[in-house]
Structures are given as structure tokens and as C-alpha cells.
């Protein structure tokens, strides 16, 4: 090799290494050993996080590990089926009262802030459970509903809260039907679309469900999607098939509805990544994951999928809508399928998807993590703008010696907007009502040093039920905002913004939301509000 060529190559390597070192975002370890690999993860309005796995994973029968809740500590060698993480102390407290198997179940917050949790495996198949969250310093635990059961057993179903506060529970393995909670007379209603979407390896489980601002549900399974009128149980529109293979369990990519804004007449859905068809069935752990994303205006008259490629292929990614409206894609693997021992090549690099940029400029590769987060891992937006990363267990049981061991640690990823360089632009919410009403005006007082006042956003984010690469009930709504007063309080500028609450339950179903002030792409710490 000529010396000049060698120097050129060396120079190129230095550029590559430097740019790697400069990749955006930071990782931190929150909990080293949570005694649970969280398969389902939910953030509560008390800034705690409910972690949930399935029964009988640790050594020994579960009954050996049931301990008096008055003395909430686990015996050595025991793992929690459920636990709660306090975000102020990073301490994990086991929960004891999920008595039935929550493996691959589903959930959703109800309008009063109670977490509804449905279905599962074995004795949990038809069960309903509730968790009423409390202050981190108090004790609260699960309650099994006992008598009230699902009309049909549901394993791998998806829940979505509806505009009137009922929760719809959609599909599941071999369950092409929907039902409501609170239960309605008549039980489950058939939903043949889900049967149509099933292939020889399923691919219709954990359907992607988005409540659109026009009141219909957008339901996506395999490569098919429809507009579903749940009030009449009819499909009112069929969207074109999405090219690039199946996208739901066991071939999961992920999906989000982009932030709702303006007059809320438009909603756009994005579906990214997935496994190759056959990877699950033929045990092809090295089948390269899909790189493509489809994006469709779900409220459009005659919409088509707009296709775009991610920087790398990804299966089992989690898509998290950040307070800014950008989307973080994190976790997963570059090859294989969902299921036990079925994936390889962990995908350590998160990617930021910036929906408002022109095509070709939307993806930014971020700073990689160091822990593989594959099957049964989760990602959730936290009230301080970080993203909580938990779980990963691609094995049937807890297994710390196999490849990609069961992961008991919990991490947080801080997007670049939390970097020290941007700290001076971070706004603070000083004042916010506890409750807001549909269509009503309310004031938010925001302080900060370098606020682009005319551009300040007030955005509300739901707390979804994250499991299996999809966050059930995830939504971000950007509110209409106007500046109504500026005050100097002891040398600190206070900006009083008048906001308009979402017009109705289709734009934002009733319940608790995180309210973020966003200044020049930097979110405040959120305060919680109840929308009624
Ligand atoms: C909410 O809507 C569903 C679907 O239309 C309906 O069956 C149910 O009765 C409603 N629930 C309440 C509490 O009004
Ligand atoms: C959708 O999936 C089915 C198999 O389930 C396949 O036959 C069909 O070609 C796929 N459609 C597209 C557009 O790829
Ligand atoms: C995947 O694995 C199979 C069997 O181990 C092997 O035959 C095949 O070449 C591999 N494919 C790739 C793309 O590595
Ligand atoms: C752990 O997983 C490996 C596969 O990665 C498997 O060979 C081994 O048998 C498992 N061990 C236990 C105790 O289940």
C-alpha cells in the first residue's frame, strides 16, 4: 500500500472513531439487579414504574417466594413476578399479589389512574387485575378481580383506552375478537380481520392499535391494516398492504402514531422494522431483520404507505414518542425473530426518527448501549425526559449462563436534549392545574433563561403499557398555546401561557398525562395532569 493511501485510510478511521465517540445521548445504570426482567413496564403518575414478568421463572416453586407483604423483601434466590421502581431513589420493591400468570398479557391505564391488566397464560388466560398506584413511600399492590373475567382467554392481545373511558381489548393468540372493560353484556365480539391477518406462524398477535382523532381505531396486523369502528364493529376502510414482510408478533417491528397537533384532523402512523417471514417458523436466528419503515396518513382519504429505510435492520425495537414529537427507536436485534432463543446480533444503537425532517434526513444514529435488550425488553418515556430501558430474557426460564443472559439491570437513556450544553434552554413548569377539562382553557406558568417564548410548546404524553415492542395507548398531543403574561419574580422571568385542552376523548382519552413544556427541542420535567 502506498504511504499516502495508508495515511488517508488512517485519517478516515480517525474520523469514524471520532464520530462514534460523538454519537448523541448518554446511558446510565439505574438498578444493577432488580430481581425481575421486566416484560411489561408502565410509568405511574407518582413517578414510580411498575415492572411485570411472568410466574415461575426463578428456581423453585413460586409459593416458596411468597412473602408477607408487610415485610416486603424477597428470599434469596427468589425473583419478583412484579415489582415497583421508585424513580427518586432507584429502589425496587417487590409486589406480591399477582397470583396468576401474566405472561404475554396486556394493559392500560383507566381514566381514574388505575392500571388495568388483562389475560396471560395458564391460570391467567382469562384473568383481570388492577393496580391502583400510590405515593412511592406508601404500599400498594395488585388486586386480582376474581369473579369478573374476560369473556375469552387472551394471550398476546392489545388494550386501548377509548374516548369514553372504557378499555377495548383486541385479539390475542387464536382470539380473533374484541371485548370491553368494564364488560358489556354479550361478551366478546368477533373481529374477522385478525383471522384474515393470521399466517402459518401467526403474525397477527399484539396488533398495533392507535386511537385516531376521528374516533376510529387504526388496527395493524401482519402487513394489513384497517380503520375500525368499534361502536358498530365494522371495518370502514382498508389500507394498502405494507410491503416488506410481517410486522407483528412473532415478527415484530414496532409502531407509533406521531404527535397530534394543529386542528387534530390528521394522524400519521409509522411502522418500523420486523423479522423475515419464516424466521420464526424455520428457527432462522440469523435471518437479517427488516430495515424498512412504512408511514401512512391514517386519516387520509386514499392514503399510501411512504417507505423509508432505517440505518440498520431491527426486530423487537421499541418506539418511544419523546416530548418533542421525535421518536426514539431502541432495543432489539438485527437478526432472527421474536420467541425463545430465536434472535441474534443485538442492536445496541438507538436511532432517533425526526418525523418533521424531509425524507432522507430523518434518522440519526445515537450512542450505543452496552447491554443486549432482546426478547421481552421494554422502553418507556419518563417524566424527566429520559427513557427507561428494562428487561430482556430470550430464554424460557431465567438463565444467566446462556447466550444473551436474562437481564436484571435497569438503565436510562438520556436523549441529546438532556445534554449539559442544552441545560440553559431547559424550561421549568412552575404552575399547572391538577385537572383540565376537554376544550377548556388553562394556564401554565413556565420559567427559564433562554426561552423562545413564541415557540414554546406544551405537549401532553400518555403513560403507555410497554410490552413486546409496542407501547399500548402511547400518544403525544401538542396543545394550542398563547402567551398571556410575562412577570419578573425576584429576577426570574415567568411566562404565563394559556393553553387549550384537547377538544375530546378521541384526541386524548380521559386520564393522567405528563405535561411537558418544550423550548427549542428541550423538554422540561413533566408535571402530571388529569384530563376529564
Ligand atoms: C363506551 O363505549 C363503548 C363502545 O361504544 C360502549 O359499549 C360502552 O358502553 C361505553 N361505556 C360507557 C361507560 O359509556
Ligand atoms: C402480505 O402478507 C402475505 C402473507 O401473509 C403475502 O402473501 C403478501 O404478498 C404480503 N403483501 C405484501 C404487499 O407484501
Ligand atoms: C444462517 O445459518 C444457517 C444454518 O446455520 C447457514 O446455513 C446460513 O448460511 C446462515 N446465513 C447467514 C446469512 O449467515
Ligand atoms: C440457558 O440457555 C442456553 C441457551 O442459550 C441453554 O443451552 C441452557 O440449557 C439454558 N440453561 C438453563 C438452566 O435453562
Alpha helices in 79-217 (DSSP H): 192-196
Read off the DSSP letter of residue 408. Answer: -
The residue whose CB lies within 8 Å of the most ligand 1 atoms, and thus the one to mutate among 170, 180, 183, 511, is 180
Q: CB-based burial of residue 95 (10 Å sphere; 0-12 exposed, 13-18 middle, 19+ buried)?
A: buried
As annotated, the residues of the chain forming the CATH 2.130.10.80 domain(s) are 20-418
Residue showing cell 401482519 = 222
pLDDT at 329: 98
Regarding the beta carbon of 527 and ligand 4, being less than 6 Å apart is answered no
Pairing state of beta strands 435-436 and 527-531?
A: parallel
Least Cα distance to 105 among 47, 50, 44 occurs for 50
Q: Class of 423-531 per CATH?
A: mainly beta
Regarding the beta carbon of 402 and ligand 4, being less than 6 Å apart is answered yes
Give the chain's end-to-end CA distance (angstroms, integer). 71
Regarding the beta carbon of 293 and ligand 1, being less than 6 Å apart is answered no
pLDDT at 14: 47
Secondary-structure breakdown of the chain: helix, strand, coil percentages, each rounded to the nearest 5: 10, 40, 55
The list of the chain residues with pLDDT below 50 reads: 1, 3, 8, 11-12, 14-19, 60-61
Residue 124 φ then ψ, to 5°: -95, -5
How far apart are the CA of 245 and the centre of ligand 2, in A?
Answer: 7
User: Which residues fall within 8 angstroms of residue 293, CB to CB, at 6 or more apart?
Assistant: 253, 270, 271, 272, 273, 307, 308, 309, 310, 353
Q: What angle do CA 125, 129, 132 make, to 5 degrees?
A: 160
As annotated, the residues of the chain forming the CATH 2.60.40.10 domain(s) are 423-531
pTM of the entire predicted model? 0.94
Whose Cα sits closest to atom 13 in ligand 4? 399
Cell of 46: 407518582
pLDDT at 274: 98
How far apart are the CA of 129 and the centre of ligand 2, in A?
Answer: 37
Regarding the beta carbon of 365 and ligand 1, being less than 6 Å apart is answered no
How far apart are the CA of 3 and the centre of ligand 2, in A?
Answer: 53
How far apart are the CA of 279 and the centre of ligand 1, in A?
Answer: 40
How far apart are the CA of 305 and the centre of ligand 2, in A?
Answer: 14
How far apart are the CA of 283 and the centre of ligand 4, in A?
Answer: 16
Whose Cα sits closest to atom 10 in ligand 4? 402
Q: Which CATH architecture has domain 20-418?
A: 7 Propeller (2.130)
Whose Cα sits closest to atom 14 in ligand 4? 399
pLDDT at 40: 98
Amino acid at each position: 500500500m502506498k504511504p499516502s493511501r495508508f495515511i488517508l485510510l488512517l485519517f478516515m478511521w480517525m474520523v469514524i472513531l471520532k464520530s462514534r465517540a460523538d454519537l448523541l445521548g448518554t446511558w446510565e445504570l439505574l438498578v444493577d439487579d432488580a430481581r425481575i426482567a421486566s416484560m411489561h413496564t408502565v410509568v405511574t403518575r407518582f413517578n414510580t414504574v411498575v415492572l411485570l414478568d411472568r410466574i415461575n421463572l426463578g428456581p423453585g416453586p413460586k409459593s416458596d417466594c411468597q412473602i408477607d407483604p408487610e415485610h416486603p423483601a424477597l428470599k434469596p434466590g427468589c425473583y419478583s413476578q412484579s415489582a415497583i421502581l421508585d424513580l427518586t431513589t432507584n429502589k425496587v420493591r417487590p409486589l406480591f399479589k399477582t397470583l396468576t400468570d401474566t405472561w404475554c398479557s396486556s394493559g392500560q391505564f383507566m381514566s381514574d389512574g388505575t392500571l388495568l391488566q388483562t389475560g396471560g397464560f395458564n391460570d391467567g388466560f382469562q384473568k383481570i387485575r388492577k393496580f391502583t398506584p400510590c405515593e412511592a413511600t406508601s404500599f400498594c399492590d395488585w388486586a386480582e378481580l376474581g369473579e369478573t373475567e374476560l369473556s375469552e382467554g387472551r394471550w398476546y392481545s392489545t388494550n386501548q383506552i377509548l374516548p369514553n373511558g372504557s378499555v377495548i381489548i383486541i385479539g390475542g393468540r387464536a382470539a380473533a375478537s374484541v371485548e370491553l372493560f368494564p364488560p358489556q353484556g354479550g361478551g366478546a365480539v368477533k373481529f374477522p380481520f385478525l383471522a384474515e391477518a393470521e399466517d402459518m406462524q401467526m403474525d397477527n398477535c399484539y396488533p398495533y392499535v392507535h386511537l385516531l382523532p376521528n374516533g376510529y381505531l387504526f388496527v395493524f396486523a401482519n402487513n394489513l391494516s384497517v380503520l375500525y369502528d368499534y361502536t358498530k364493529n365494522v371495518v370502514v376502510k382498508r389500507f394498502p398492504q405494507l410491503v416488506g414482510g410481517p410486522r407483528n408478533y412473532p415478527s415484530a417491528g414496532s409502531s407509533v402514531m406521531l404527535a397530534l397537533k394543529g386542528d387534530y384532523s390528521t394522524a400519521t402512523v409509522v411502522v418500523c422494522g420486523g423479522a423475515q417471514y419464516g424466521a420464526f417458523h424455520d428457527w432462522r436466528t440469523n435471518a437479517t431483520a427488516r430495515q424498512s419503515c412504512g408511514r401512512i396518513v391514517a386519516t387520509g382519504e386514499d392514503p399510501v404507505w411512504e417507505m423509508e429505510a432505517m440505518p440498520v435492520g431491527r426486530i423487537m425495537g421499541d418506539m418511544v414518542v419523546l416530548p418533542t414529537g421525535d421518536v426514539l427507536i431502541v432495543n432489539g436485534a438485527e437478526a432472527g425473530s421474536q420467541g425463545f432463543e430465536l434472535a441474534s446480533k443485538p442492536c445496541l444503537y438507538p436511532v432517533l426518527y425526526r418525523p418533521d425532517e424531509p425524507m432522507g434526513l430523518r434518522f440519526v444514529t445515537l450512542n450505543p448501549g452496552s447491554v443486549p435488550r432482546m426478547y421481552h425488553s421494554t422502553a418507556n418515556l419518563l417524566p424527566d425526559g429520559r427513557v427507561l430501558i428494562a428487561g430482556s430474557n430470550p430464554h424460557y426460564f431465567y438463565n444467566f449462563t446462556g447466550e444473551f443472559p436474562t437481564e436484571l439491570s435497569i438503565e436510562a437513556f438520556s436523549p441529546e436534549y438532556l445534554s449539559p450544553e442544552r441545560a440553559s434552554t431547559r424550561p421549568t413548569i412552575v404552575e399547572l392545574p391538577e385537572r383540565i377539562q376537554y376544550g377548556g382553557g388553562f394556564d401554565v406558568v413556565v420559567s427559564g433563561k433562554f426561552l423562545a417564548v413564541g415557540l414554546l410548546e406544551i405537549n401532553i404524553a400518555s403513560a403507555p403499557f410497554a410490552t413486546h415492542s409496542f407501547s399500548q395507548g402511547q400518544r403525544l398531543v401538542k396543545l394550542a398555546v398563547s402567551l398571556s403574561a410575562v412577570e419578573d419574580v425576584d429576577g426570574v422571568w415567568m411566562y404565563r401561557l394559556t393553553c387549550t385542552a384537547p377538544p375530546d376523548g378521541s384526541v386524548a382519552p380521559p386520564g393522567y398525562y405528563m405535561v411537558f413544556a418544550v423550548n427549542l427541542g428541550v423538554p422540561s420535567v413533566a408535571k402530571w395532569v388529569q384530563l376529564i
